[in-house]
Amino acid sequence: MKTSLLAFLLVALTISVTAQNDRLTPENLWNLNRVYGAQVSPDGGAVIYSQKSYKLKEDKGRTDLMSIPANGGTAKRISDGKSSLYEAQWRPDGKKIGFLSPETGTMQMYEMNPDGSEVQRVSDFPQDISNFHYSPDMQYISFTMEVKVEESLADKHPDLPNATGRAYDNLMFRHWTQWHDYSYQHVMISKYNAKAGEPYTDIMEGEAFDAPMTPFGGSEQIAWAPNSKSIVYVCKKKVGKDYAVSTNSELWQYDLDTKKTINLTDGHLGYDNDPVFSPDGTWLAWMSMARDGFESDKNIIWVRNMNTGTQFALAETLDQSFGNVTWSTDSRTIYATSGVSATFQIFKIGLKKDGADKLKVKSFSAISSGEHNINSIALAGDKLVGSMNTMSKPAELYTWDIDSRDQTQLTSANDEMLAKMKMGKVEKRIIKTTDGKNMLTWVIYPPDFDPNKKYPTLLYCQGGPQSAVSQFFSYRWNFQLMAASGYIIVAPNRRGLPSFGQEWNDAISKDWGGQAMNDYLSAIDEVAKESFVDNDNLGAIGASYGGYSVYYLAGIHEGRFKCFISHCGLYNLESWYASTEELFFANWDIGGPYWDPSLKDAYLKNSPHRNVGKWDTPIMVIHNELDFRVPLNQGLEAFTAAQLQGIPSKLLYYPDEGHWVLKPQNGVMWHREFYDWLDTYLK
């Protein structure tokens, strides 16, 4: 009897452990490798890429450099596996791979053979460098470096070395996660393989501007001309209030011989970004937004004839926004990615001469199709290499045959781990909105879904507000992780989300609390009609504008939801306007400052705090100290209001995170607290 009972318990324990191990968990989510940064060798035969892995116990990650034949084969790690390296790229002759490493205390440039052997340090600059590029003729390298331009209080008061004060007399005194430190990132040019102490040129000397643009711009905002005689970089050369209210970045060209810089995009009003020269040097393509102040405007491909200065837009009549421009070797075709119905695909744009100095579109076609996100592309002979993911699979590298459109998986960094895990079904539904529109909504089901059971269900509210609920694989808002925890997820592409045309994208601006809220309720109400949805256990969750949405729904949901979670959400639009940093966003999407009499009704309608007296549902508030985009006061105000009204509520606060949660152990803690709250009120 005892033996039989023991055997039964062992079998039950085995079944329990097996059931846990075949589902995605917060811990094994952080064990997945992250693949990105594909770079094709000059001869098109090999691909190097970065693979980042994390050690949860050590609370840190390591970035390895990998190599794989472009036609497929076995991936090999070519870095030493001891320390991270960054920004790996092929030298123009293909004989070496350059990269950055902090091995000697500062971030410097190194080179290795394509097989990883003979690593040598090739730069000796006085401080960290980043965003490096070889000139095509290999005579120079460009890089960026922080340069102190302005006087600080420490400079002004040298006899007070322990004083910590800072003083500012203009806006943009802090940005996303950093206070302004009186320094700016400048583009530098040095001789390739310069010896220690040899001079380098600051091509922005004395300028109080950043290039690339902080905090998210990188090496894609710097491009060498194929003849190595000039370099083009992106910069928003504005200061203070003018910088805070504008998105008007420009392309600037520096001539190495004349030492002069000219503005290539004067007259363009919005963002101009990501310059890419054609291989023959005749054309410069870049992404351009038409409207100043609108960070989520349509990205149009513009082209400049570098011989004549003539500029023109390509495919501007298409109701699509483009990115990741790549030229063909003959400079007569452009490949680019574009969002289509909550997926991201590759398109081929055939070009032909239009008069003496222009190009026009000869043909336009899709190279890829399917429910996935293609995040980057690079040319490799008759193929394109790029990163692709779905809601159920993190990014891997794939190739697409340009002629046949055949898609082939190139890397398999996570296949072994994923093969052991059950993923839930991802279903695409079209739901009618209150104004009669069709809204694409993803519904994600738990693994081993049983339609005869009832499941607690979550309404996912997307941030942005203009950021598609596409086939992304998130390491925080991961739909498969939610599904593995026993929830059905309803993720609508409500008003304001891109990839459904510009009208749908623009509809959110100045109407945050309007049709988008109706869209959310339409989605959850429609899916809640299903017999397997537990209508007594519905929750709403989201971050940023999604967090705003949660706060707003908490005041208007009329008993639909049993709990809420808001991460870094906007709660009080008046106090948020006065404490955020990129005011162009607030001006465009909210309409302007709260003290403008004409906007009184807009703030009354759109600010969630106006309905806080109607809150009656448990709510978890998550907010972080270093979030300057949606400052901490937003979460504190919401939590205090809930507490004073006796509403069950919890504040989760991180002193060392910004708008996101990026540290491994913080991330796992975030998930544990997230699901503990949901499980308390929905199960």
Active site residues: 544, 627, 659
Phi/psi-derived region of residue 341, left when phi > 0, alpha when psi is between -120 and 50, beta in every other case: left
Distant-in-sequence, close-in-space partners of 81: CB < 8 Å, separation ≥ 6: 62, 64
490 within 8 A of 427, measured Cβ to Cβ:
no
Distant-in-sequence, close-in-space partners of 263: CB < 8 Å, separation ≥ 6: 250, 251, 252
Around 666, how many Cα atoms within 13 Å sit in the side-chain half-sphere? 15
Q: Name the pairing type of β-strands 178-179 and 174-175.
A: antiparallel
Q: Kindly report whether the peptide bond that precedes residue 212 is cis, defined as omega within 30 degrees of 0.
A: yes
Q: Which of 44, 47, 34 is nearest to 97 (CA)?
A: 47
CA dihedral 152, 157, 159, 165 (to 10 degrees): -70
Cα 466 from chain centre: 12
CA distances from 545 to 191, 312, 463, 472, 496 (A): 46, 35, 4, 17, 11
Q: Token match 């200065």: residue?
A: 309
User: Is residue 16 within a helix (H) or strand (E), and if so which, with residue range?
Assistant: helix 2-21
Q: Which of 641, 637, 634 is nearest to 612 (CA)?
A: 641
* CA 628/CA 174 separation, integer angstroms: 7
627 within 8 A of 572, measured Cβ to Cβ:
no
* CA 515/CA 435 separation, integer angstroms: 8
* CA 45/CA 69 separation, integer angstroms: 6
